Homo-oligomer: A and B are copies of this chain.
Amino acid sequence: MLDDISTPGRLAEPDEGIGAEELGLAARNHGLPLEALRYDLTPPGLHYLLIHYDIPVLDPATWRLRVGGLVGTPVELDLAALQAMPARTVRVTLECAGNGRARLHPRPVSQPWLVEAIGTADWTGVPLRDVLAVAGVDPAAIEAVFTGADHGIERGVEQDYQRSLSVADALDPDTLLAYEMNGAPLPPQHGYPLRLVVPGWYGMAQVKWLTGIDLVAQPFTGFQQAVAYRLRQDPAEPGDPVDRIAPRALLVPPGFPDFMSRTRVVRPGPVPLMGRAWSGRSPVVRVDVSTDAGRTWVPAALEPEHGHRWAWRRFTHEWHATGGRHVLTARAVTADGGAQPVGQVWNRGGFANNATHDIPVVCVPDPAAG
């Protein structure tokens, strides 16, 4: 009976519109309205959210983090014990691995993100390595497996949400067990009372509602590691794992929109453009802006990191708009010489599609200006 309600992944037919199940996911998961790119820190409630199953309700009075497996001493820690350890705050831009999926042809049928599955927050918590030091990692351990309380069924597999990291990634000083977002306790939907934050990685690594960490001697083969979140052209391939965030630049859409088409309207004359760029791989060193659909590019002014290696960076460009139609776009260029692709990065799961984003704009005089 479960096979009927939990079916294999599939691709949409060439002319198939978004279906009822995709719409159901789009209605419950949240994207960032692109004008909110203007904020250095995403205001609470505008950060993207992707919840695989339901938001669990965990009672902080009885909740414990269990650390076990290949450790010297298995430990259980409550929230007060974690908060008593030295804290660290890291500003991190998070992005869903499926961001851009609904722009793919053919379209993998899943959460239909366009480009808005992003957000930036200050995450405060205990470095994971400090907690692992309390338990003592056995030299035979090669990975840490993280278990969240989010429970459901996916492609026929009933599961608590689980992901692993290599011991090396787990010991990175920026990898946090976070209990605060922007200086306040985690909201329920962001993992209260405790979540993993792995700066530079896509959202699937950022396990929310953490209940357990297990050190293991073999590569973890759970559903979210070995079945989902793999880059494949064909469903039979094992595929490569999805890991770090591909470079992306996005513009705040200028002017004002039409309600339904979201096409932008601007006035002739100077139009200040701004946006954000980020990468979990090679760092962004330049952002180019195009106002002619990518035929020509101009470097934007890119703000420094301000000490926040894992957060988006602001860029600005002054555009002189003239009457008519235009297509604005931006691309991030990284230290290793890579640039965002103009064409799609297609794979069967619809992951890491960082193709540039086009913003159609119409420039007309202000009718009220006479």
Contacts and interface: CB of A to CB of B under 8 A. Distances in A.
A75 interface: no
Nearest to A151: B256
B31 A28 contact: yes
Contacts of A113: 27
Nearest to A112: B23
A265 B31 contact: no
Interface string A309-332: 000000000000000110000000
Contact of A187 (B19, B45, B257): B45
A38 B55 CA distance: 11
Interface in A254-269: 256-263, 265
Contact of A23 (B26, B258, B324, B364): B26
Interface stretch (A1-9, A122-130, A199-207): A1-9
A4 B49 CA distance: 33
A189 B261 contact: no
A18 B28 contact: no
Interface in A120-172: 151-155, 158
Contact of A362 (B1, B34, B43, B154): B1
Interface of A: 1-2, 4-7, 16-19, 21-28, 30-31, 33-36, 38, 43-47, 49, 51-55, 57, 102, 109-110, 112-114, 116, 151-155, 158, 187-189, 253, 256-263, 265, 324-325, 360, 362, 364, 367
- 6 nearest A-B pairs in the assembled complex, by CB-CB distance: A17-B17, A45-B45, A18-B18, A5-B263, A154-B259, A6-B258
Given A23-B114, A35-B55, 11 more contacts: A1-B364, A5-B258, A6-B263, A18-B19, A27-B31, A27-B114, A30-B30, A33-B54, A44-B187, A54-B253, A154-B259
